[in-house]
Amino acid sequence: MNSLPEAVFPDGRRVAALGQGTWHMGESRASAADEVRALQTGIDLGMTLIDTAEMYAEGGAETVVGEAIRGRRDTVFLVSKVLPSNASRNGTIAACEASLRRLGTDRIDLYLLHWQGGYPLAETVAAFDRLKADGKIGAWGVSNFDVDDMEELLSVPGGGHVATNQVLYNLARRGIEFDLLPWSDRRGMPTMAYSPLDEGRLLRHPTLAQIAAGHGATAAQIALAFVLSRNNVIAIPKSRSPARVEENRNAADLKLTAADMAALDAAFPPPPRKRPLEMI
């Protein structure tokens, strides 16, 4: 098993480019133990970046993450998010403190605005700066921001300290390759790719199955290998199954050939023009 590829944040911090998502975790007490085991399996395999949010199961996912990292907080890189409806100056600070309690920790490594809402970005950024100064977060970023949103962010005081943008990105949704991904690359800012398997829809695609057969792999692994082949992109697949988590981890060891990439481009053409940012 090779070491995982890394992504680098503007401040020089490095993280594994294959992490773990938690969307839809924490929704059922019956599945919580399985979710904890899956996350712990991923940590053991080096997938130490864990992404969550106060929105997921109304805090339930953060509670699951808190259980999974108990006693091993220093080995993980925690990412969470504030809802736009909470993203006033005081509301952001209160939301972060509530997330910290659910996560059972004194700090979040990376704290994101989940999407842009009604509060002025300057208020949210001021709150992020306060949280960072107080040691409650290590860095801050955004999610679901298109290029114009990012340009607006850079125009507010302190907005240039943004560390990342988390967006929908996978083989079936490649729109960001036209403008947003190059924009971030030029600024040395990693992109976090949520739903890298397109919520499972990619697993049934015949081209992925054909390429997977040539590698003795699965369609999911090919889809993840594609995302991981992009420069400074962090993939955060979610799974409740330790076996599936291990499958995801092994995707990082796959090397797609030029012929594989050509076949993927034929099946999932890269964008020839600007597309509106997709979200789910």
DSSP secondary structure, the chain, as one string: -PPPPEEE-TTS-EEESB-B--TTTTS-GGGHHHHHHHHHHHHHTT--EEE--TTGGGGHHHHHHHHHTTT-GGG-EEEEEE-GGG-SHHHHHHHHHHHHHHHTSS-EEEEEE-S--SS-HHHHHHHHHHHHHTTSEEEEEEES--HHHHHHHHTSTTGGG---EEEE-BTTB-GGGTTHHHHHHHTT--EEEE-TTGGGGGGG-HHHHHHHHHHT--HHHHHHHHHHTSTTEEE----S-HHHHHHHHHHTT----HHHHHHHHHHSPPPSS--PPP--
Catalytic residue among 56, 111, 169, 194: 56
**Catalytic residue flag (residue 56):** yes
Active site residues: 56
